[in-house]
Amino acid sequence: MRCCASSSSDPASCSWRVSVRKESSVRERRWPLTVASAANDNTPVVTATSVVKTFGGLRAVDVEKLEIRRNKITALIGPNGAGKTTFFNLLTGFDKVDSGTITLDGQVITGKPPHQLAGMGMVRTFQLTKVLSKLSTIENMKLGALHQRGEKFWSALVPGSWTKQEREVEARADAILQRFNLTHMRDEYAGTMSGGQRKLLEMARALMTDPRVVMLDEPMAGVNPALAQSLLELIKALPGEGRTVIFVEHNMDVVQEISDWVVVMAEGRIIAEGTPAEIKSNKAVVDAYLGAHHGEDLSQVELS
């Protein structure tokens, strides 16, 4: 019997092929764009073209064109009913578009479910956290890791096939918990955490997938001032790791502090884009959703 499928029967050659296959099967997945190469890549990481979503007779989203800059922090803002949450759900696969195209690094992802997008490098958090209260913090973290062999029935029956990977996953989880200053909560039930700590845990768990795009839905909602600055610093650090951040936020102080680019929606459409300073002085933006606050400093008005 031949040792490999190629025409070569050289044992050394065959052994090399087997070792490469084995190594690639256990190696942690990394995206092809490294921090260094991505930093010099000006191509958009996410695009939305002619994206439409209607509910009955209401056109909730009607976005002609949006390009999300790679390795930048982009804020999505607008008044209640602007369509930003619906648009966010369309981008992340939690709702389906009626028409239009969404891409991730040039690959069409329109209609793909959230778990597939997570496997492709796009993850999100929620305004209302989705931690599992009856599991410990470390158990919540380990759930976020991709491609765990112990999840498969036959592999689970052979501990030797997954125990090493389990240790590696736990070590990665511990490292991220330390970074998020949650080590002291490692073995506590997630249900005992404060609202701010749950926000930290959800973001930390998202990083277990080693994502290239991190989508945050109102990350500062419900976070007390003691944790708010820590969370902001963690978010600001993500682009330096080769990650793109898109977030929905109402507080303009937060938007101005951490955003590189701001996208403004009103009535389902994008009405303006620019730097925080440009958006702050944009009359169309002020007219669109400040209403009675017209003439006030945007930073003094919490958008809703």
- 283 falls in which pLDDT band (50, 70, 90)? confident
In a domain, 79, yes or no: yes
Higher-pLDDT residue of 111, 304: 111
Residues 237 and 163 reside in one and the same domain: no
- 285 falls in which pLDDT band (50, 70, 90)? confident
Distance (Å, whole) CA 90 – CA 105:
17
pLDDT, position 131: 80
Here the tokens at position 128 are 């209302």
Residues 147 and 292 reside in one and the same domain: no
Here the tokens at position 259 are 């955003």
Q: 273 phi and psi, to 5 degrees?
A: -140, 150
Q: What number is the average pLDDT over the span 64-82?
A: 93
In a domain, 185, yes or no: yes
Residues 136 and 272 reside in one and the same domain: no
Q: What number is the average pLDDT over the span 172-180?
A: 90
- 165 falls in which pLDDT band (50, 70, 90)? low
pLDDT, position 90: 96
Residue 20 has pLDDT above 50, yes or no: no
Distance (Å, whole) CA 152 – CA 162:
10
Residues 164 and 105 reside in one and the same domain: no
Among 165, 192, 219, where does a domain finish?
192
Residue 293 has pLDDT above 60, yes or no: no
Q: Looking up tokens 């109402």, which residue turns up? A: 250
Distance (Å, whole) CA 237 – CA 224:
20
Residues 111 and 148 reside in one and the same domain: no
Residue 264 has pLDDT above 90, yes or no: yes
Q: What number is the average pLDDT over the span 249-266?
A: 92
In a domain, 101, yes or no: yes
3-state secondary structure the chain: CCCCCCCCCCHHHHHHHHHHHHHHHHCCCCCCCCHHHHHCCCCCCEEEEEEEEEECCEEEEEEEEEEECCCCEEEEECCCCCCHHHHHHHHCCCCCCCEEEEEECCEECCCCCHHHHHHHCEEECCCCCCCCCCCEHHHHHHHCCCCCHHHCHHHHCCHHHCHHHHHHHHHHHHHHHHHCCCHHHCCCEHHHCCHHHHHHHHHHHHHHHCCCEEEEECCCCCCCHHHHHHHHHHHHHHHHHCCEEEEECCEHHHHHHHCCEEEEEECCEEEEEECHHHHHCCHHHHHHHCHHHCCCCHHHCECC
pLDDT, position 270: 94
For the entire predicted model, the pTM comes to 0.76
In a domain, 102, yes or no: yes
Residues 37 and 59 reside in one and the same domain: yes
pLDDT, position 262: 96
- 46 falls in which pLDDT band (50, 70, 90)? very high
Here the tokens at position 78 are 């607008």
Residues 242 and 282 reside in one and the same domain: yes
Residues 117 and 218 reside in one and the same domain: yes
Closest CA to 33 of 24, 42, 23: 42
- The total domain count for the chain is 2
Distance (Å, whole) CA 93 – CA 51:
13
Residue 284 has pLDDT above 80, yes or no: no
Residue 56 has pLDDT above 80, yes or no: yes
Residues 185 and 71 reside in one and the same domain: no
Residues 208-251 have pLDDT tens digits of: 888 999 999 988 887 888 788 888 999 999 999 999 999 999 88
Residues 55 and 77 reside in one and the same domain: yes
In a domain, 9, yes or no: no
Higher-pLDDT residue of 191, 24: 191
pLDDT, position 21: 33
Residues 165 and 277 reside in one and the same domain: no
In a domain, 24, yes or no: no
- 81 falls in which pLDDT band (50, 70, 90)? confident
In a domain, 245, yes or no: yes
Residue 290 has pLDDT above 70, yes or no: no
Among 192, 224, 243, where does a domain finish?
192
Residue 138 has pLDDT above 70, yes or no: yes
Percent of the chain with pLDDT over 70: 74
In a domain, 106, yes or no: yes
Question: What CATH code is carried by the domain that includes residue 245?
Answer: 3.40.50.300
Residues 100 and 233 reside in one and the same domain: yes
Q: Could you tell me the residue range of the domain that residue 183 belongs to?
A: 132-192
pLDDT, position 209: 85
